[in-house]
Amino acid sequence: MRALAARAALATLAAVAAAAAAGCAPTVRAGDFYATPLRRTAAPRTPIEARWRVEPAPAGCAATGAPIVFIPALGLTQHSWAGVTAALAACRPRVLVDLPGVGEAPPARLLDEASVLQALVDVVDAVAPGGRVILAGHSLGGAVATRLAEHLGARVEALVLVAAPVAPFPLDRWERLLLLTSLWPPFLHLAGAWAGVKLGLQRVSGGGDRASPLDVALIAADWSDHRRRAAVVQYYQTFLAAVEIGRTEAGLASVRAPALLVWGGDDRIVPLDVLHVAERRLAHATTRIVPGVGHLVPLAAPRAVAAAIDGFLQALPSPPQPAPDGGALVADGARRPGDVVWSARREIFPLLNVGALFPLDGRVDLSFQAGVARGGIDPRFPVESGRLALLVGAAVRGDAAGWQFAYLRATGRFELVWRWGGGYHIDGTLLVDPRNGQVGGYGALGYTPSIVPWLRAFVGGGALPGDVARLLIGIDVTARLTGWLW
């Protein structure tokens, strides 16, 4: 029985070690895009704020027309438009926006429609004081751009909607899981946000689109922060719930500016049916379909999107417009070229563990272990987590004769913790007494209350070295050292 327990514990340790070593994230650094200063509003009129960068019109342009304000999709950052703006030939400044609570914008608690639109009006007033703008939005950004166009009226020179949810459409099962339930965050942590985001982008795009490593890293960084995950949910509720999409559709008729509709021919998220509805609702619509591309059109086909925008804008007048008058400030805390956006250090971190094991015969074994874990890190919010942990150490035994060395031990743990329901873990532990070569082991199931996620209680069965098989119960306290080390 002792040999069986030891073999089972060893197999568990091997499985956890293999899973923990697999799929480690690469080191991804910010590129030259981040050399452009990040801007903020000088006098914001709402508690939440957007952040943006302004890329100038190409050199040699005879005149500077209305700037193009680019708004990203749900869960994406301003960098998702970088490929498009780099390929764009239009003689207009490019304004790439991080919505409040997203990317480099400050975290935001309450994201109602009025506040979000006012934050974007602040951006427009800073980059085009008293002038006009062109609004370009991808996916969620298209819905936001449509609402903003209603609000700004004649100040909108043109509207560009890229795969925008501006008419009702059904969510697929993955979108429902992601947006309508809270079951997935521990699994995202367990997989590692890097691998989880890559898989998610492939699933929602039908496997056809490939985001750059930097875009994956930026999404992973946001989705590993519970405050920014909450912002994603609020944006969905505010702009993408069925009733809200109905409101956006109704608002299309009030948009008098010329509009360009760009869609991926293989979009499985916002289907071409939505494009056809938008064509009918808008007063002046031009359509471009990019064949062989799914929902992530600006990421997968930036040159095609840029060419469509250039062709559309060539047919529009481009009256000169004064440059911004200094109404925007350089924002603190911006990313810089070379900054690490994501690395394995965000997914692998050290642990210390102190535990007590009770064989229910009057003895108690106190263990002291150290190790590493693989999983998501959100130091501000540890009550949602998933991780694989490997711990090694030693135990001392207390009985009527006092305290003495008991054995060396190694533990593998698989753990998932939810915010409200608490968490569950499976342990496999190998025990070795080096004094006589005796081996033991046990397996255990445990529970973690979400209000104190560092505390665990477990029950299991197995054999201590030199002992018979028995029921075992225990508790332990595990501290992760991330906050102290990095």
Residue ranges of domains in the chain, CATH in brackets: 2-23+347-485 (2.40.160), 28-340 (3.40.50.1820)
pLDDT of amino acid 182: 67
43 or 126, greater pLDDT: 126
pLDDT at 309 over 80: yes
Predicted confidence (pLDDT) per residue in 341-400, tens digit? 998 888 888 999 999 999 988 889 999 999 998 887 676 776 778 889 999 999 999 887
Confidence bin at 485 (pLDDT 50/70/90): very low
Q: Is this model's pTM higher than 0.95 or not?
A: no
pLDDT of amino acid 214: 94
pLDDT at 16 over 50: no
| Percentage of residues in the chain having pLDDT higher than 70 | 87
- Of 43, 2, 15, the closest CA to residue 428 belongs to 15
Predicted confidence (pLDDT) per residue in 97-114, tens digit? 999 999 999 998 888 999
Beta bridge partners of 350: 372
pLDDT of amino acid 323: 63
- Integer Cα distance of 171 and 163 in angstroms: 14
Query: What Rg, from alpha-carbon coordinates, does the chain have?
Result: 27
374 or 459, greater pLDDT: 459
Q: Give, to the nearest 10 degrees, the angle between helix 193-204 and helix 213-223.
A: 110
| CB neighbours of residue 71 within 10 Å | 31
Pairing label, strands 51-55, 28-29? unpaired
pLDDT of amino acid 17: 47
Predicted confidence (pLDDT) per residue in 77-136, tens digit? 999 999 999 999 998 999 999 999 999 999 988 889 999 999 999 999 999 998 999 999
